[in-house]
Amino acid sequence: MPAPYVSSSKTNTTSGTVLPEKYPTHIPALDAIRGLAILVVTLYRFRPSVEDASATCQWLESFLVHGQRGVDLFFVLSGFLITGILYDAKRHSHYFRNFYARRTLRIFPLYYGVLIGALVILPLVWTTGYPFGATRDAQGWLWGYCTNLVIAWRGDWCFGYFDHFWSLAVEEHFYFLWPLVIYFSSRVVAQRWCLALAFVSAGTRIACAAFTDNGPAVEVLTLFHLDALLVGAWFALASRGPRGLAGIVPTCRWLMPVSGVLLLPELLLHKRLLTVPDSLYALCFGAMIVLAVSAGPSSAFRRVWQSRVLRWLGKYSYGMYVFQLPLIPLFAYVFTAESLAESIGSRLLGHLAYILLMLAATIGTAFASWHLYEKHFLKWKRYFTSHPAPPRSSQKETSESSKTSEVSLAV
């Protein structure tokens, strides 16, 4: 647990907004945002089938389907956090070694542990009705974080209960390349890269949606999700400018509601609208993150992100995301939405019971994985801590950095 944080924060007395000159190493509001993202994504995974004959179940499905946008929230949050970590580490020794080592210790043990368990060990003992056959047939791509590339190339969701690993591949590609951009660019130049690449990302995605019929490619290619990652990155860099958060909070106050209003057609019509709303979601989520970080103690918005439940879920969000789909066929031997509906005598109540039971199973599995397995690898992070190094940057950037808020956001 980090030490108590004391700062000379500047408070806007008219709005209650806290504009810290320096941030703590851990910001609880970001845990809550991560918790919200994983909650809505998990509810989306276990929603009723759209083919369900029940009108109430179809209404429930039409509501929960928007939970897939939690993945976009994860992308924006990742861009914000990772870019902040990278920029703050530029003036420290072993920049690349420490970043890649710490990411490896956080991500690889669970990712590859699940693949080994499901695709190597489980087939040895599960001789009949093995549920991950489709995944095993194409598993080589999973091991190399190429899930999304294969889905796009084939134009088909071909990994079964591991289809959702496409988003992990997107983030891994970003983690691999983005440190180079941050290291070799000034803050201002990096912001320009964010804007340029975000426009390229959105433009090519919209063109692909308009002129091809490869729906899966539009959904999963790394290039097509760079705008979400880079919106978060841009806000992280902007918050480290001479004015810190004070320079971007006013913009975020109108950007979040305006982008939210512009999203209403997509929410009401349930249409992709050539994926234009994808970029609006990114802007809305980016503004929300900034406002959550800067909200004052008396702000109602701050109280939302003080939720202990959301912050607790945020701690186990990675495991919940990894496990949620593979658990479906495993628990199907115990219960399904259909069996529960038959037992209860109501399709709606049966589906609600299924959602709650699978949510509990996902949380329980992620909780056990964290405490019995994942957290022990994180102890090795102490060998990859950053230490200040003699400045290599220009005098101009050094001067700018001295006036900039340094944010170290633990992931």
Which segments of 263-385 does DSSP mark as H helices, in order? 264-269, 276-294, 300-304, 308-315, 317-323, 327-331, 337-344, 347-369, 375-377
Confidence (pTM): 0.90
> What's residue 50's pLDDT?
66
pLDDT tens figures, 182-236: 999 999 999 999 999 999 999 999 999 999 999 999 999 999 999 999 999 999 9
Residue 409 DSSP code: -
> What's residue 390's pLDDT?
57
pLDDT tens figures, 91-121: 899 999 999 999 999 999 999 999 999 999 9
Residue ranges in the chain whose pLDDT is less than 70: 1-25, 50, 52-53, 389-411
Q: Is 162 in contact with 63 (CB distance < 8 Å)?
A: no
> What's residue 22's pLDDT?
52
Which segments of 133-248 does DSSP mark as H helices, in order? 133-137, 139-143, 147-154, 166-183, 187-211, 215-220, 226-238
> What's residue 77's pLDDT?
98
Q: Which residues lie below 8 Å from residue 382, measured CB to CB, with a gap of 6+? A: none
Q: Alpha-carbon distance 222 to 165, whole Å?
A: 12
pLDDT tens figures, 36-70: 999 999 999 999 886 765 788 888 998 999 999 99
Q: Which residues lie below 8 Å from residue 35, measured CB to CB, with a gap of 6+? A: 307, 309, 310, 311, 312, 313, 314, 315, 317
> What's residue 25's pLDDT?
62
